[in-house]
Chain A
Amino acid sequence: AQKVTQAQTEISVVEKEDVTLDCVYETRDTTYYLFWYKQPPSGELVFLIRRNSFDEQNEISGRYSWNFQKSTSSFNFTITASQVVDSAVYFCALSEPHSSASKIIFGSGTRLSIRP
C-alpha cells in the first residue's frame, strides 16, 4: 500500500539557515511519481516539483533543492539560505500510475517557520 511519512511535524529556524524537510514513502510499484507542495499561511496549495521513479537526478531551483534516493525511499527537500517568505506547511505526496485512480497520497505535512 502507498504511504507517505513526514516525520517532522514542525521545524523552526532562523532566517538564512539551511533547512531540510524529510519525506519517506512506501510503494510496491516500480513506477511512481513524487511531489512537493507548499501551503503558505494564506492557505492555497502550490505545486513545487514532480519527480518520476526513473529519474534519480537531484534537482535545484534557486534556493530549493530536492534529493531523491530510491535506496532509502526518500525524497527530501532542502531550502538554502531560508527566508521568512518560506514559512509555510510543506506536503510531500506520492502517486502510482497503475493504481485504480490517478490520485495522490499526501503526507501529513511539515510546518516550517522561519524567524527573522
Chain B
Amino acid sequence: DADVTQTPRNRITKTGKRIMLECSQTKGHDRMYWYRQDPGLGLRLIYYSFDVKDINKGEISDGYSVSRQAQAKFSLSLESAIPNQTALYFCATSDGTDSNQPQHFGDGTRLSIL
C-alpha cells in the first residue's frame, strides 16, 4: 500500500461545483501539504498543516480550503470550481521532527473543470 494516498486519482467536473480531494497517510508524519502543478510552473503550495487543526495558507490559497481533523488525513476543497483550477494536485507529508526532511508525495489527482 502507498504511504500517501490521494483520492480520487482523476476527476472531471463542471464549473461551480464543490469538490473535495482527500489525502491520507500511513507514515505517521505531522506535516502535510497540498500543491498544484501546472505546466511550466512547477509545484505551488496551496495550504499546509503542521498538526491536527493547524492550517496555514500557502502562496495560492484563494479559492481553496482545507481540513485537518486527524493526523493521517488532510482534505482539500474547491468551494466553487472554476476552469483555471484545472491542474494536477499533489498531497505531501514530511517528518515534523526535522523541518527540512524531504517531502513524500502521493500519486496526484488530475482535476479537470469544464
Contacts and interface: CB of A to CB of B under 8 A. Distances in A.
Interface of A: 4, 9, 33, 35, 37, 42-45, 47, 50, 52, 91, 95, 97, 101-104, 106-109
Interface of B: 31, 33, 40-45, 48, 50, 56, 58, 88, 90, 92, 94, 96, 99-108, 110
Contacts of A44: 105-108
B108 A47 contact: no
Contacts, number: 56
A-B pairs, top 4 by smallest CB distance, nearest first, are A45-B105, A106-B42, A102-B99, A33-B100
A106 B92 CA distance: 13
B102 A108 contact: no
17 contacts: A42-B107, A43-B107, A43-B110, A47-B102, A50-B100, A91-B42, A97-B100, A102-B48, A102-B96, A103-B33, A103-B45, A103-B58, A104-B45, A104-B103, A106-B42, A106-B44, A108-B42
B40 A43 contact: no
Contact of B41 (A35, A43, A108): A108
Contacts of B100: 33, 50, 52, 95, 97, 102
